[in-house]
Chains A and B, each alone.
Chain A
Amino acid sequence: MLELQGVSFETEGDNGTEILNNIDLKLLDKKIYVITGPNGGGKSTLAKIVMGINNPTAGKILLNGQDITNCNITERARLGIGYAFQHPPRFKGLKVGELLRMSAANNPEKVNPYDLLHDVGLCAQDYINRDVDSGLSGGEMKRIEIATVLARNLQVAVFDEPEAGIDLWSFQKLAETFRNIHLKYETTIIIISHQERILELADEIILLVNGRISQKSEKEKILSLILQNNGCLCSTKCEKGVGQSAQFVG
């Protein structure tokens, strides 16, 4: 179980902007949580805080009761936290097969890199010996990134907009893959997404707006709420996104 207690995050500097405000979350094993909400709401920051890429300015993070707030990225990775980047980095001279073998190195189960590529909809023979560099498209990079997380036997797996750049044909496969991990492992899965089909995989949906949890409940409730809500999600009072002292043009 992953627990966030009063987690806040502000950017550094005198004019630090508050990105996350007092987040409390209890995320259970073998559940899929989808975090959604408007752009700039703090979703990616929350994911990075779980992995240890950003450190919270206040609050605590606990993994199965152990305080991991001060653990660095490597330590958290070794405790079983994984993170699929929204924009995965490229590596000159590193092959797809090598990256996957590195990812699976500490997995007690035998993992076959060919199967991993198949699970993310890539033909293994075409990709295993290719460099993870600019020769791969954005969509290919995303799939390989997801495969690096699937390669590990994780307590907590975070996917930051996994569907971005992935074509419709492969989308179904991706959804199936998430469902399979869900069935097979005890992993807590956290997916940041705006896609209805990903939202449908969720046991619970967390709506994050302006750095606060606006809603957290079963998917049916939130889905209907999102579909009904035709207002805006501004932090200050306004009329459909227009500030009260707005200047009009024309």
Chain B
Amino acid sequence: MLNLLDRLMLEKVADLHEIPQGAYNIRKNGQGVQKNTTANIDIINKKDKPGIDVIVKPYTKGESIHIPVIVTEENITDLVYNTFEIGEYADVVVVAGCGIHNTGSRKSQHDGIHNFFVRKGAKLKYVEKHYGQGEGRGEKILNPKTVIEAEEGAVVELELIQIRGIDKTKRDTEIRLQDKARLLITERLLTSGEQEAESNIVVELSGADSSAQIISRSVAQDHSRQIFYFDLVGSNKCRGHIQCDAIIMHKAQVLSTPKISAYHDEGQLIHEAAIGRIESEQLIKLMSLGLTEKEAEETILQGFLK
């Protein structure tokens, strides 16, 4: 069912070398191709629209759900709605990568709309990797939308990674945190060539003692363009921190708008944003250890995006 190219794409977006253990649903060119459920995790196809419902039973611990999407044909626009129900006190990892291989001249596009309900005391780690390849002129486009409701005491960790390969992406992330819910988002982005990437993250800290941290690091090269919009909205006693750092190179553009909005006198919100070139002192230091300028630059970028 899966050929060599499919396997390569799976490896890139989900670190999978084989069919994964545990629950999974592999979607290829707009259709579900392989699926597995476990005693604790059920995956049901939606009846009214494309997509799946993933249901994790309460108290499920240490299981993972892989839902990779691969697009290997041109002229495809795939829209999918996935809903995740993470039961009370469960602790799971969801890996949702998308890989596009487009050698044609027409575009390939995947838009994933993900809705999470992370119930009381549950822990969710959600990893989303984007990967694109193929020398054709056809554009590779990914537009994910992620909406997360984190109930009391839930812990949510998001890792959003896109390193080259995708021509256009618009990522919308909306998260609401109830009492004592905690959130950590790490975003890593590298654009090159003529690529465009937009990331909007809005976090509503509506519960007492909720907390959120967003760490975004990006590198913009060549003529690429990045747009960031982050808003932490504190409407209760809460703590929030945004750190966004961008390295800008060549003729690239980076527009970053970190915003913090407090509607409560015990809301503590901080934002830090910086855009700059690679510091010349960093290059000189590594060159003084024997690296060439190019090697020094690569080492600095690799560390920065790790």
Say yes or no: A73-B299 contact (C-beta < 8 A), given A92-B217, A93-B305: no
Closest-by-CB residue of B relative to A88 is: B285
Segment of A30-38, A77-85, A115-123, A191-199 engaged in the interface with chain B:
A77-85
Q: How many A residues touch the partner, as a band?
A: 20 to 34
Does B292 reach chain A (CB closer than 8 Å)? yes
CB neighbours of B305 from chain A (8 A): 93
Question: What DSSP secondary structure best describes chain B's contact surface?
Answer: helix
In the complex, A181→B230 CA distance in Å?
A: 51
Q: Which residues of A contact B304 (CB under 8 A)?
A: 91-93
Residues of chain A within 8 A (CB-CB) of B303 are 91-94, 98
Q: In B218-252, which residues have CB < 8 Å from any A CB?
A: 245
Check B300 for interface membership: any CB of A closer than 8 A.
yes
**Which listed residue (A82, A89, A102) contacts B281, Cβ 8 A?**
A89
Complex Cα distance, B53 from A103, in Å, reads 51
Q: What's the Cα separation between A98 and B289 when bound, in Å? A: 13
For chain B, the bracket of interface size reads 20 to 34
B75 CB within 8 Å of chain A: no
* Complex CA distance for A73 and B296, rounded to whole angstroms: 12
Q: Does B286 lie at the interface of the complex (its beta carbon under 8 Å from any beta carbon of A)? A: yes
Whether, in the assembled complex, B282 has its beta carbon less than 8 Å from a beta carbon of chain A, the answer is yes
Interface string of B266-284 (1 = CB under 8 A from A): 0000000000000101101
Residues of A within 8 A of B217 (CB): 92-93
B184 within 8 A of A: no
Within the complex, the shortest CB–CB distance from B226 to chain A, in Å, comes to 17
Extra A-B contacts (9), CB below 8 Å, given A94-B303, A102-B289: A53-B284, A73-B288, A77-B291, A82-B288, A92-B304, A93-B303, A94-B300, A102-B299, A103-B289
Please give the residue numbers on chain A whose beta carbons come within 8 Å of chain B beta carbons, in ascending order. 51, 53, 72-74, 76-78, 82-83, 85, 87-89, 91-94, 98, 102-103, 105-106, 148, 152
